[in-house]
Amino acid sequence: MRVASTQRSSSPGRSPRNRSSGASTRVPESSWDPAGEITVDHSSPVPLYYQVASQIEAAIDSGDLPVGARLGNEIDLAGSLGLSRPTVRQAIGSLVDKGLVVRRRGAGTQVVFNRVKRSLELSSLFDDLAAVDQQPTTRVLVNEVRSATDEMAHRLGVAEGTELLFLERVRSARGEPIARMCNYLPATLIQPSSALLEERGLYQLLRGEGVRLHAAHQSIGARVAEQADSELLEEPVGAALLTMDRLTYDQGGTVVEYGSHVYRASRYSFDLSLRGDG
C-alpha cells in the first residue's frame, strides 16, 4: 500500500506560475491518450469533472503524462469523452489550480509539473532527486560550527558544548524549491564548504569521509507554513507542509546526524510499503 499526501495549495488570487523551468522545450511524446484511457461512469455519485481530473492527475503522478506533454484543447477532449465542455473545463481548471498543468493559447493544455515521490530509504534527498532526473540544486543558508545545546547534545549523544556542524539549506527540483533542511552532526566528521554542499548530497559527503551509514530512526508529521517557510518555499502562509525528523546511526550505533526537514505537501510525498502476515 502506498501512503502519500495529495494536498496541494496555491496562493489565492494568483495565477499559477509556469513551473516548466528546466524542462526541455521539445514536447515529449506520450503514449497516454486521454480519450482512450479515461473512463467515465455517469451513474457514479462522484462528479464527472472529478472523475476526469483524478485520472489525469494519476497519469501525471505516475509519469505516463510527463512534463511538457499536451492534452489537446477542451473542445476536442470533451467530444472524445462524450462530456460537455463546461465539465471538461472544470476538470482542467482543478488541475491548473493544483499547479499540474497550464492552458496555452493555441496549444491546449500542457503538463508542467510532476510531484516528487520519495521512498523511505536511508538515502539523501539530493541523490533521490538526481536518480529520477529532477535536476536538484541547493541553496546554502547556514554552514557553521556551533556548540551543542542541551537538546542537541541529548539527541546526538554528546556532551553539552561539543562542537557541532549546523547546516540549513533549501533544496530545489527543476528550479522549484521543495524542502528546507536543517542538519546537526559532529564537527569532527566533516566540515564541507558551502560550494561543495551545493554540488553534492550530505550523505554522499559523509560516505566520502569513510562514514558508514547503517540505520536511522525517522518520524514523519505535518504542520502549516509560517512566514519564513513561505518566503523560502514559495508557499502561502498556512499551506500544508510535511515534516521529517531523522536520527542516523553508523555501524557502531553512534549517532552521526540529526536532520529536521520540512517539505511542500503540494510538491512532495513519501512512499512506503507495508506487508501483511505471511
pLDDT per residue as tens digits for the range 42-89: 888 889 999 998 888 888 777 788 777 887 778 888 888 889 999 999
User: Is 192 in the same domain as 234?
Assistant: yes
User: Is 96 in the same domain as 135?
Assistant: no
Give the domain extent around 96: 34-111
Longest alpha-carbon distance in the chain:
70
Q: Is residue 126 part of a domain?
A: yes
More confident position, 116 or 241: 241
Which of 11-15, 35-39, 141-145, 262-266 shows the highest mean pLDDT?
141-145
Let me know: does 210 contact 221? Beta carbons within 8 Å: no
Domain boundary among 111, 145, 168: 111
pLDDT computed for residue 103 by the predictor: 74
In the predicted model, is pLDDT for residue 251 greater than 90?
A: no
User: Is 106 in the same domain as 122?
Assistant: no
User: Is 195 in the same domain as 218?
Assistant: yes
Query: In angstroms, rounded to a whole number, what is the distance separating the alpha carbons of residues 41 and 55?
Result: 12
Query: In angstroms, rounded to a whole number, what is the distance separating the alpha carbons of residues 251 and 256?
Result: 10
Q: Is residue 179 part of a domain?
A: yes
pLDDT computed for residue 11 by the predictor: 35
Cut 0.95: pTM above it: no
Number of domains, the chain = 2
User: Is 150 in the same domain as 71?
Assistant: no
User: Is 126 in the same domain as 245?
Assistant: yes
Strands ordered across the beta sheet of 213-224 = 136-147, 163-173, 176-186, 255-264, 240-250, 213-224
In the predicted model, is pLDDT for residue 166 greater than 60?
A: yes
- The domain that holds 157 is classified in CATH as 3.40.1410.10
Domain boundary among 111, 136, 164: 111
6 confidence band (pLDDT: 50, 70, 90): very low
Q: Is residue 221 part of a domain?
A: yes
Q: Is residue 16 part of a domain?
A: no
Lowest average pLDDT, out of 11-15, 82-86, 112-116, goes to: 11-15
